Amino acid sequence: MSAWGLTQLTTGSLAGVFHSHSYYDINVFDDTSRYVLVHRMGFAERTPLPDDAVEIGCIDVDQSGSWMRLGESRAWSWQQGPLAQWLSSPRRAVWNDRDGDRFVARVCDLETHRTTTLPRPVYAVDPQGQFALSLNMARLDTVRPGYGYCAGGGALLDQRRPREDGVWRMDLHSGEHRLILSLARATRLLFQRLGWRERVRHLRGNYVYWFNHAKVSPDGKRFTVKLRFRERSLRTGWNDQMGVSLTCGTDGENLRLLAHGTSHVIWLNNQRLYFWQRDGVYLYEDREPVGARLGQLAPELITQNVHIRHLPGQQNLFVLDTPYQEEIDLLLYDSRNGSCERMAGFENHRPSRGQYRCDLHPCPSPDARKVVVSSLHDGGRQVYVLRR
């Protein structure tokens, strides 16, 4: 029997009301480990349109059915929602929204109930809550449906690797922002690190390049981001091998190649990261000029791609799901002794693949005593919490 108790926090599937948290690698728990940011939807299994709004709310994990409405968003996707996440004290929440064909961010102060607007969408927030990294969500939606936001301007798809687009750093108080890593600069580094045959294929090919999955290091000094590519026509398929992970200073300096063909990258500490790569989850060190592989995590347990997080303050304990199946398990792995505990199982995950799937996306709380997931277990997308 698992030491983790399971509670369903949201309901409404039979009435066509669904809930989810945004993504597995952002702060959906507040600093007290009690409140979770959630969005509420009124339909399932179709692409969101520009006028399809979701309601943004805060729920109390100690009180099932609680709901505090914070606002709404018309900039969201099935896989990442509106990227609603907490900022540091005073207690504030940020999420993405639409202003015409532009994407912006809303910041809500839960004490004053005042909401302000920032000029760019947020992707990753630094742990101190001073700045955010912003990506082109219109471009992302076109080349990787299910992750960006539909019907936005400025996708720049007439350019394969634009100089004026990439990763932006935005001050979370003033909204001031600047481009710190362009797609043109990132692809130049990629070409330098490729073998000559692969380099010629890129230079002569017709690839379009984009950024996804930015994450800031715990000390806020560096970030990692995926540089991905696919045929410009978008007719051919795409896979995780068509991309690399980069690391860079949050000031835009000291750009490095971390590894090829990565998925679900997470910072373990300020120098090391772990991620799925081809046949397992590997630990890498962020080194100049190319990341160094240090070892593999749970090679007998993890044999397919997973969403994996270490528990805060416990770098030996990892929580992970077994996605892309109709029945998904949530597991706790201890790297010290190789033990594995099945925390819970979730059924009814149909479809199991594609942009409308519902991955668990496990998010541990800051006190490491709770994990929130989204699941189709009761027939619709709802939010659950496990606690010990």
Region of 122 please: left (phi>0), alpha (psi -120 to 50) or beta: beta
The residue-averaged pLDDT of 272-291 equals: 97
Q: Which residues pair with 223 in a beta bridge?
A: 216, 248
pLDDT, one tens digit per residue, over 155-190 is 999 999 999 999 999 999 999 999 999 999 999 999
pLDDT for res 64:
77
Phi-psi region of 324 (alpha: psi -120 to 50; beta: other; left: phi over 0): left
Report yes or no: 257 and 289 within 8 Å, Cβ to Cβ: yes
Average confidence (pLDDT) over 255-281: 97
Average pLDDT across the chain, whole number = 95
Q: Sign of the C-alpha dihedral, residues 24, 47, 94, 177? A: positive
Are the CB atoms for 156 and 115 separated by under 8 Å? no
User: What share of the chain in percent tops pLDDT 90?
Assistant: 90
| Domains of the chain, each with CATH number or no CATH | 5-387 (2.130.10.10)
Q: Residue 10 and residue 25: Cα distance in Å, rounded?
A: 21
The predicted structure's pLDDT at residue 1: 66
Q: What angle do CA 105, 107, 113 make, to 5 degrees?
A: 145
Q: pTM score, two decimals?
A: 0.96
Q: Can you tell me the mean pLDDT for 286-300?
A: 97
DSSP state of 159: S
For position 90, what pLDDT does the model report?
A: 67
User: Residue 245's closest CA among 261, 268, 267?
Assistant: 261
Q: Which pLDDT score is estimated for 89?
A: 67
**DSSP for 220-277, written as a single string:** SSEEEEEEEEEETTS-S---TTSEEEEEEETTS-S-EEEEESEEEEEESSSSEEEEEE
Of all residues in the chain, the percent with pLDDT exceeding 70 is: 99
pLDDT digits (tens, 9 = 90+) for 322-358: 999 999 999 999 999 999 999 999 999 999 999 899 9
Band (pLDDT 50/70/90 cuts) for residue 126 is very high
- Please write the tens of the pLDDT for every residue from 213-263: 999 999 999 999 999 999 888 777 788 889 999 999 999 999 999 999 999
